[in-house]
Amino acid sequence: MTATLDAPAASPVITPDAAPEQVQPAPHPRRWLGLFAILSADLLNLLDSTVGTIAAPAIRADLGGSTSTLQWIAAGYTLAMAVGLLVGGRLGDMYGRKRMMVVGVIGFLASSLLCGLSASPEMLLVSRVLQGGFGAVMVPQSFGLIRELFGREVGKAFAALGPVIGLATVLGPVVAGLLVDADLFGAGWRMIFLINLPLGAFALYVGGRVLPSSEPVARGERLDVKGALLAAAGMFLLVYPLTQGHELGWPAWSFVMLAGSVAVLGGFVVNQARRNRGGRPALVRLSVFAKRSFSSGVAFVVAFFGVITGFSLAVGLFLQLGLGYSPLQASLTMAPWAVGAFIGSALSATALAGLGRRILHLGLALMGVGLGGLLLVFSLASDAVGTGHLIAPLAVFGFGMGMIFVPLFDIIVGDLDDAEVGSASGLLTSVEQLGASLGIAVLGTVFFTVVGVPGVSGVARFVDAAEVITVIAIGLTAVTFALGFLLPRTARQAH
C-alpha cells in the first residue's frame, strides 16, 4: 500500500506472484528481524513521499523560490519514482534483490543528506529527484525479499504489513510538522530529511546481516534503456508544463510540450510492443492491457491517487498560507485524516477483506461524504474556517481512503494470468506515482490560480481556492467510482 497524504510511494500487490505449483521454502530463522529491516527501508520512502504537504511553505520561506517550487518539492520526487519504478524491479532480477536494496538505501541516504544541506531551491529539487530515483530502486525489492524470508508463512508477513504501512504513510505530515516546529539543533525543516540517516543506518546494518542473498533470476539479461528514457521523457513533458504553465502565463511552448508528451509516450508503447513481439525483456508486458479490467484499473489508479495527493497538498497550503497555521498546527489539524486512514486500512485488511470490489465503492462513497462535508464548511464558514470545522469531514475522507489502499492492486490484477502479475504490479506502482505527480501539478495549479484572482483578498481567496479544489476532488472521486464497476469483482487470491 502506498498511498499517502501527499505523494504516495509504491503500492504493493499484497499477493505473492509465484506460480501455484511452486513449493514455498521454509521460513528464515530471523525472518521478523529481516522484516523490520525491510520496513525501515520502506519507511524512508513512505515518510519522505509525504513531507511536502506540511514542510513546503517553510522550505520556500527559507530558500525562496516561486509558487511552483511548492509543487515541485513533492512532484519532483513522485515523477522520479514513476520513471524509476519501471526499472527498479528489473534491476533486482538482474543483480539480486538484496544488493539493489542496499544500493537504493545508500543512495537514498546520500540524497537525503543533500536535501538537508540544500542552499537553494534548485539544489533541493535535484536532491529530491535523486531521492525518488533511489527510492524506486529500493522499494520494489521489498516484497521479493519478504517472500524469501517467510517462505510458506509469507501470508503472516503480508497480513501485518497493511496496517503498519498504512500508519506510516499517513503520519508523514504529522511527523514533518513536529520536526519543523521543534527546530531541533536549529535545523528547522532540514530535520525532516536528516532524520532519515539513523533509520537508514539501521536498515543497512540489520539488512546486511539478515536478508538472504539469493541468485539473481535474470542474471546476464539487458535492461531496456531506450524504453526507460522514452518513459522518462514522456512523463516529464507531461508534468512540467502543467506545473510551470500557470506561473509563466501558459506560453506556447507549454502546449507544445503537452502535445510532445503524447508523441513520446506513444513511442514508448511502440518500443515495448516491438520488444514483446521479439521476445526481448521489456519494461511493460502490453498483453495486460488486452483485459478491460486492467486498463480500467490503470485509469482508476491515476484518478484516485491524483485526488488524494493533489487534494492533500492543497489542504496543507490552505492551512498554512491561508489560515496562517504553523507547521505543527497544520499537521495536527490533518491528524484526523491520518487516523481515519489507518483505521480504514486496518479494517480493509481484516474484517472487510471478503467484499471484493465493493470495498472500493464503499471507500469512495465515504470519501465523497467527507469531501461534501468540507465543501459545506468552505461554503458556509467562509473566512471563519477553523480546525473544529475540519475534523469530522477529514476523518471520514481519510477512513474511506484507507479502505481502498490495501485491496486495490489485488483487485485490479484479479483477472490476470500468473505470468502477467509481476509486470502489471510494477506498471501499477509507476502509474500510481505518475497520478500523484499529475494531481500535484493540476490541483496545485488550480489552487494558485484561484488564489491569484483579482478582487478577492485575505483569507477569503484561500477559502475560494479550497472550495474549487474540493469540487474538483468530488468530480474525480465520482469518475473513480464509475471506473470501479469495470474492475474484477474479487481480489486475486494468494498462492
Please, what sign has the CA dihedral across residues 133, 49, 284, 266? negative
Cα dist. 46→78, 169, 395 in Å? Answer: 11, 5, 20
The overall longest dimension of the chain from CA atoms, in Å, is: 69
CB 170 within 8 A of CB 4: yes
Report the candidate in 490, 479, 478, 483 with the shortest Cα–Cα distance to residue 357. Answer: 490
The confidence score (pLDDT) of residue 7 equals 40
Per-residue pLDDT of 431-470, as tens digits, reads 988 999 999 999 999 999 998 866 556 788 899 999 999 9
User: 402: which 3 cell numbers?
Assistant: 484507507
pLDDT digit string, tens, across residues 212-254: 887 777 777 888 899 999 999 999 999 999 988 888 888 999 9
Provide the pLDDT for residue 457: 63
CA distances 451 to 102, 180, 314, Å, are 44, 25, 11
- For the chain, state the CA radius of gyration: 21
Q: Do residues 195 and 182 touch, judged by C-beta distance below 8 A?
A: no
- Distance of alpha carbon 390 from alpha carbon 396, whole angstroms: 10
Q: Could you give the CA distance from residue 106 to residue 134 in angstroms, rounded to a whole number?
A: 8
Full pLDDT tens readout for the chain, 495 residues: 344 444 444 344 433 333 344 445 666 667 788 888 888 888 888 778 777 778 888 898 899 888 888 888 888 999 999 989 888 888 888 888 899 999 999 999 999 999 999 999 999 999 999 999 999 999 888 877 888 887 777 676 766 666 666 666 666 777 888 888 888 888 889 999 999 999 899 999 988 888 888 777 777 788 889 999 999 999 999 999 998 888 888 899 999 999 999 999 999 999 999 998 888 888 888 888 888 889 999 999 999 999 998 998 899 889 998 889 988 888 889 889 888 988 888 888 776 667 888 999 999 999 999 999 999 999 887 667 878 889 999 999 999 998 998 788 888 988 887 777 777 877 888 898 899 999 999 999 999 999 886 655 678 889 999 999 999 999 999 999 999 999 998 876 654
- Show contacts of 26-32: CB within 8 Å, 24+ apart: 26/151, 26/152, 27/149, 27/150, 27/151, 27/152, 27/153, 28/148, 28/149, 28/150, 28/151, 28/210, 28/212, 30/210, 31/149, 31/150, 31/153, 31/157
Report the 10 Å Cβ neighbour count for 348.
26
- Residue with cell string 477483506: 353
Residue 210 in grid coordinates = 539478515
pLDDT at 485: 95
Contacts of 347 (CB under 8 A, 6+ apart): 402, 403
Q: Return the DSSP state at 148.
A: H
Q: Count CB-CB contacts under 10 A for residue 51.
A: 30
